[in-house]
Structure 1
């Protein structure tokens, strides 16, 4: 059984040193609050999503982080620089996506800083609880297959699946590791599986040619996403999906954010037990809750 906590464990030497964090979106699901504070700075327990994410990648051996931000998110960039100093990052680079043109365009903004090495990519919509961490699991799987790989989670809630990218499984290399035949973004009908893309993937520099090609193909669309690029690549390149072990913490909507806050607070070694007792006391005193 996996112990789901925020304690970190030693990891094998990192094979990938660079992570790209995509955080240029407007956070429309969190409006109007996101008009005044970037959603990436909303606290989940003791820290915002960005804080937990930097902690995760550093503990897995990452020493260079590129934050793709927006010109309006100066507070987020100041916090990022604070985290870079706190965790001793060798490189902490901020680049801007001037207009919200989707995650594929956002990834292009980081290209010049990546060189010819594989790199990790994350969004700031979710986190992962469990040991080994999401980043460690991706590192190990990439060492095994040497191909682009994305994190997936098994979801039985059809309504939740309908707002995510869902993979069609090709072949199973081993339990929990699959090739991706295609990807369906926000399936309106029956999804091809119950394995949905979540934040966390390892990509290679060769992806940028495909990014530019897909952006050109979808030039009439305002936004083009990495999932569009992955779906395009599946036709010519082997892409893997890794079903993560542990517990998904989804903070992508207002409602899920509330659940995520509780998950992170309960998992935090510093406050988890006290917070659990507090929740139990509140529920006992108000079993049906109190209205506003």
Structure 2
């Protein structure tokens, strides 16, 4: 039975510019409550049993690589700033996983970013977690990547997560066209990248969690650039579902698009409400704030 022990986390886009205007900060390093976005993503992978995590880093992403390096300067700063819990989280990740960084020299799309991980992935199956998407387990269920790993290890068929979106949001995502096998579990029949709502009847979007058989790498090696001159992962997934089959499944986790301004704010608020130190005071503040509207 195939085991998933490796994952690729693409963090390959240019950094997002925030104040002060002279400093560029990778969006994956922006803080959600008390930790950078990328740490939540890596923690999800580790909880799913991943041992080798390949960060695909583009220009301006040195901060991500440095964060996971053993660094006296970083650890000393976290300790002096009183961020002992964050230091413990980073140290725990270092103890449980190998963090490997590969540079994506040219921003040629998500498919190309995944292909950049080939030297580490080799011939093994692997997971992909987008570096600015956070999913947090809910209702006592395993996290999204754990669920995908379990499905793959049971079926040996590549499996992706999907979520239902409104008509107005269809063009923001890759969309999976599916046939339901059982409640919340589907056979993927085709995929289309960021279609207009009129171009597909499906409303099942790809929120950035995948587990692939290694055959996807062979497909990506021969992939051509399409939309915006990029190698689209959805194009190769479409071919994969024709050649080997591709499953999709829904999830019960809370999901935040932390690379989006509104999603970033929502993640901070909701995760802060769950934080025992911040939750009660923030909840009281929100209740008072609502009264003003």
TM exceeds 0.5?
yes
Matches within 5 A, 1:138-287: 138-155=148-165, 157-169=166-178, 171-190=179-198, 191-215=200-224, 218=225, 222-284=229-291, 287=292
Q: Which stretches in structure 2 are left out of the alignment for 5+ residues?
A: 71-88
> How many matched pairs?
267
Q: Which stretches in structure 1 are left out of the alignment for 5+ residues?
A: 1-13
RMSD of equivalent CA atoms: 2.3
Give the Å deviation of 1:56.
Answer: 1.6
Give the Å deviation of 1:38.
Answer: 0.1
1:39 matched to which residue of 2? Answer: 27
Does the aligned pair in 2 maintain the 1:65–1:89 contact within 8 Å?
no
2-structure distance, mates of 1:184, 1:102? 15
Give the Å deviation of 1:221.
Answer: 5.3
How has the CA–CA distance of structure 1 residues 274 and 63 changed in structure 2, closer, same or farther, with 3 Å as cutoff? farther
TM-score by length of 1: 0.83
SS in 2 for 1:162: helix
2-structure distance, mates of 1:140, 1:268? 29
1:136 matched to which residue of 2? Answer: 146
SS in 1 for 2:101: strand
1:127 matched to which residue of 2? Answer: 134
Post-superposition Cα deviations, 1:190-223, rounded to whole Å, max 9, x if no partner, equal 33312100111101222111102223xx379531
SS in 1 for 2:197: coil
Give the Å deviation of 1:251.
Answer: 2.0
Q: Which segment drifts farther, 219-228 or 65-74?
A: 219-228
